[in-house]
């Protein structure tokens, strides 16, 4: 094989691998089964992408816990009851994805949220112990990671995302909070897709 042919082979192989694995993050399988918030990818870099979310609506509960995993389990249990009819209208709501756990800067509470289906976003069904969050159109830096989420994963994944953003305008742009987005049901054991989000003002 000549040097030119070998070079062409490497270029073609790189293109095929990029096409197979994807330059952008993998779309979680959960978004094929459940409604997920819509967004536009505005920038793609090494191990991150920037998304523009179009004013999603969330139903949330706040948990005081040092463990993100424990707070998420407790918060998710309440949200499951909510979608199953434990709300003021006693109505079931379609399950969606992801469930997010938000850590606000300078705040010890963890806000666990369920994405409200679009058919309910104009008038979300209320519940006494839950609050509605209406995001403005927002930019989010995203890094995917896989497997069951452990508390020990979170800060290293946040640090890895920040490292990926180094040298971009996002490195010097203040962010409101970071979130862990989990797309899989608790009983699922394989192909678990999670994301770290940096939510910008």
Summarised one tens digit per residue, pLDDT across range 86-119 is 999 999 999 999 999 999 866 679 999 999 999 9
| 125 located within any domain | yes
pLDDT tens across 30-54, in order? 999 999 999 999 999 999 999 999 9
Global confidence as pTM: 0.85
Region 143-161: what's the mean pLDDT?
A: 96
| 39 located within any domain | yes
**How confident is residue 21, by pLDDT bands cut at 50, 70 and 90?**
very low
Place of tokens 């058919």: 119
Distance, in Å, from the CA atom of 82 to the CA atom of 89, rounded to the nearest integer, reads 10
Q: What was the pLDDT predicted at 114?
A: 96
| 24 located within any domain | no
Residue 47 near residue 159 (C-beta atoms within 8 A): no
| 13 located within any domain | no
Q: What was the pLDDT predicted at 186?
A: 82
| 8 located within any domain | no
pLDDT tens across 137-149, in order? 999 999 999 999 9
The CATH number of the domain holding residue 152 is: 3.20.80.10
Distance, in Å, from the CA atom of 24 to the CA atom of 6, rounded to the nearest integer, reads 27
| 67 located within any domain | yes
Domain that holds residue 194: 30-200
Report the 10 Å Cβ neighbour count for 90. Answer: 8
User: In the chain, helix, strand, coil percent, each to 5?
Assistant: 30, 30, 35
Share of the chain above pLDDT 70, in %: 86
Element (H, E) at 127: none
| 171 located within any domain | yes
Q: What was the pLDDT predicted at 104?
A: 80
Nearest to 64 by CA among 4, 110, 130, 15: 110
Residue 144 near residue 46 (C-beta atoms within 8 A): no
Looking at residue 146, what DSSP letter applies? Answer: E
Nearest to 112 by CA among 128, 127, 100, 97: 100
Q: What was the pLDDT predicted at 163?
A: 98
- Number of structural domains (the chain) is 1
pLDDT mean across residues, the chain = 88
| 153 located within any domain | yes
Place of tokens 């987005």: 181
């Amino acid at each position: 094989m000549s040097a030119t042919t070998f070079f062409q082979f490497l270029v073609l192989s790189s293109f095929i691998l990029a096409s197979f694995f994807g330059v952008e993050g993998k779309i979680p399988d959960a978004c094929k089964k459940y409604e997920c918030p819509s967004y536009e990818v505005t920038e793609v870099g090494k191990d991150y992408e920037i998304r523009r979310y179009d004013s999603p609506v969330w139903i949330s509960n706040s948990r005081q816990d040092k463990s993100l995993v424990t707070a998420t389990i407790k918060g998710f249990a309440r949200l499951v009851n909510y979608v199953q009819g434990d709300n003021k209208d006693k109505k079931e709501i379609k399950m969606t994805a992801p469930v997010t756990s938000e850590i606000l800067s300078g705040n010890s509470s963890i806000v666990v949220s369920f994405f409200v289906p679009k058919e309910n976003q104009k008038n979300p069904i209320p519940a006494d112990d839950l609050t509605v969050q209406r995001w403005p159109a927002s930019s989010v830096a995203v890094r995917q990671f896989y497997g069951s989420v452990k508390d020990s994963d979170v800060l290293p994944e946040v640090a890895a995302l920040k490292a990926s953003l180094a040298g971009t305008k996002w490195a010097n742009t203040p962010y409101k909070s970071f979130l862990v987005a989990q797309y899989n049901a608790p009983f699922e054991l394989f192909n678990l897709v999670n994301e770290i989000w940096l939510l910008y003002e």
